[in-house]
Structure 1
Amino acid sequence: MKKFIAEVLGTFFLVFFGVGTAAITGAEFGILPIATAFGLSIVAAAYGIGAISGAHLNPAVSIGVLCAGRMSAGEFVQYVIAQVIGAILGAFVIYLIVSGKSDYSIATSGMGQNGYGPGYGGGYNLAAALIFEVVATFIFVTVILGVTDKGAPVGFAGLAIGLTLTAVHLVGINITGTSVNPARSIGPALFVGGQALSQLWVFILAPLVGGALAGIVNAAGLTRADA
């Protein structure tokens, strides 16, 4: 139960700060604050609840940990449920806040949702979105599995993970808004609806594939210091 609650809270924090920054200040200040908000939120969660649940906050991370042989299938299901709940709660709070602005329209302003194609970001197509999300998630989860390995330096995991997530967002915000996290995508999409919901499968499937590949490679010993 402690792990479940920690994952709910941690994912809530991630969505509140990351999606919140995209929804509230993204149009005004651009990519860097959004990327930084996501990175800092994961650093805070890693040091705040990492000792309880490992601070996955992301089904793609959990499936990577599962494929690396570090958690059971039952734990994986529990983590994913907690993460999706936390993301929905975080998106709900952001929705309540942005709805308080007199000229706000979710149809035109959105809510930090992920997407691709004409009218979204740089207009990148489906193939580009899939490639980016798989590769970026693979990199992100590979770093997580590496810095949480038994042979990794102690005390720096949260910082390394946060900086990697920031870098991933700097590359991908203009492509897909950067998901690399199905839960983070599910939360806003449920409130925005329309195209965000119809394209949601991309931001569930691609990160899970990337995370699973990272876990498989790690299990094979290719990214483990003790292999």
Structure 2
Amino acid sequence: MIKKQIAECIGTFTLVLFGCGSAVIAGADIGLTGISFAFGLALIGMAYAIGPVSGCHINPAVSLGAVAAGRMQLSEAVQYIIAQVAGATLAALVLLLVLSGKADYSVAQNGLGQNGWGVGYLGEYSMVSAFVFEVVATFLFMIVILGATGKTAPAAMAGLAIGLALVVIHLVGINVTGVSVNPARSFGPALFAGTAALSQLWLFIVAPIIGAVAAGLLFKSGLLDADE
């Protein structure tokens, strides 16, 4: 289990550092498309790097979705989640340290790639819009994950399929919430980004878990699981 926890910590660290880093450091140069691919490519890289060790969940919602699908024990998922949150927190701290070296950087004004909604945040979508998007996007993301990692699916393609799904989700949703679909990814930056981000963090914990667990239960029912 310690190997799996180390892998999950490193994987989540990579996703948050390069995904959120692309938004805050390079966003003006690469745009929404570039940021979307940064998240997806980070996931693809980690899928092939640590997938053989831990399955590369790097996302508490994914781990709980796997529990709901009957592919993981809750006790193991809890240990995964601890590692994922630790990795995301460390990544946000490293990103903050890097950004602090820029003379005109202010976490209050420039942020840390945190998720959000409402007045002053990207497209200024409502809380309801943010909640619906995060539930539905995570549900569909989990469908891809469970389908691509099933026994009858081509294993070599799983990382690519899952990573590209994350790219598409970001292309559509960055202006809505910044895209979470991952409570750990939201937790790390929010911890250092200030009270506004922390006050909205609950949505990026609750909504992705609802979406992922719903997808897991659908597979558990056998309605979508080709292995059944």
- Given the two structures, how large is their TM-score scaled by the length of structure 1? 0.99
Superposed displacement of residue 221, structure 1: 1.1
The 3-state SS of whatever aligns with 2:113 is coil
Q: Deviations over 1:159-190 (max 9, x none)?
A: 00000000000011000000000000000000
Distance 2:23 2:7 in 1: 24
SS at match of 1:56: coil
1:67 aligns with 2:68: yes
Letter in 2 for 1:20: G
After superposition, what is the alpha-carbon deviation per residue over 1:88-133, rounded to whole angstroms, capped at 9, x for unaligned? Answer: 0011110001111000011111010000001101110000000000
Which amino acid in 2 is paired with 1:19? C
Q: How many residue pairs are counted as aligned between the two chains?
A: 227
Deviation of 1:223 after TM superposition, in Å, equals: 1.6
Structure 1 residue runs without a partner (length 5+): none
Q: Residues of 2 paired with 1:73 and 1:40: CA distance?
A: 29
Take 1:58 and 1:134, find their aligned partners in 2: how far apart are those partners? 14
Matched residue, 1:208 = 209
State yes or no: 1:10 paired with 2:11: yes
CA distance in 1, matches of 2:226, 2:133: 27
Per the TM alignment, residue 28 of structure 1 is displaced from its structure 2 partner at its CA by 3.7
Partner Cα distance (2:210, 2:80) in 1:
17
CA distance in 1, matches of 2:223, 2:113: 35
Distance 2:30 2:126 in 1: 25
Describe the SS at the equivalent of 2:155: coil
CA distance in 2, matches of 1:16, 1:183: 12
27-36 or 177-186: bigger deviation: 27-36
- State the distance in 2 between where 1:119 and 1:146 align: 37
> Could you list the runs of 4 or more consecutive aligned residues of structure 1 that deviate by over 3 angstroms after TM superposition?
none
Q: CA deviation at 1:30?
A: 1.6
* Structure 2: runs of 5 or more not aligned: none
* Equivalent-residue separation in structure 1 for 2:136 and 2:180 (angstroms): 12
What aligned pairs does 1:19-58 form with structure 2 within 5 A after superposition?
A: 19-58=20-59
Aligned counterparts of 1:181 and 1:16: Cα–Cα separation in 2: 14
Which amino acid in structure 2 is aligned with residue 31 of structure 1? Answer: L
Shift of 1:27: 3.3
Alignment partner, residue 127 of structure 2: 126
Cα distance in 2 for residues equivalent to 1:30 and 1:198? 27
Kindly report the root-mean-square deviation, in angstroms, between the aligned alpha carbons of the 2 structures. Answer: 0.7
Structure 2 CA distance, aligned partners of 1:221 and 1:161?
Answer: 21
CA distance in 1, matches of 2:21, 2:123: 21
Partner amino acid, structure 2, of 1:189:
A
Identity %, equivalent residues: 59
| CA-to-aligned-CA distance 1:40-89 (integer Å, 9 cap, x gap) | 00000000000000000000100110000111111010000000000000
* TM-score with structure 2 setting the length: 0.98
Amino acid at match of 2:31: G
Name the amino acid aligned to 1:177.
G
Secondary structure, in 3 states, of the residue corresponding to 2:156?
Answer: coil
* Distance across 2 between alignment mates of 1:23 and 1:6: 25
The 2-side partners of 1:193 and 1:84 are apart by 18
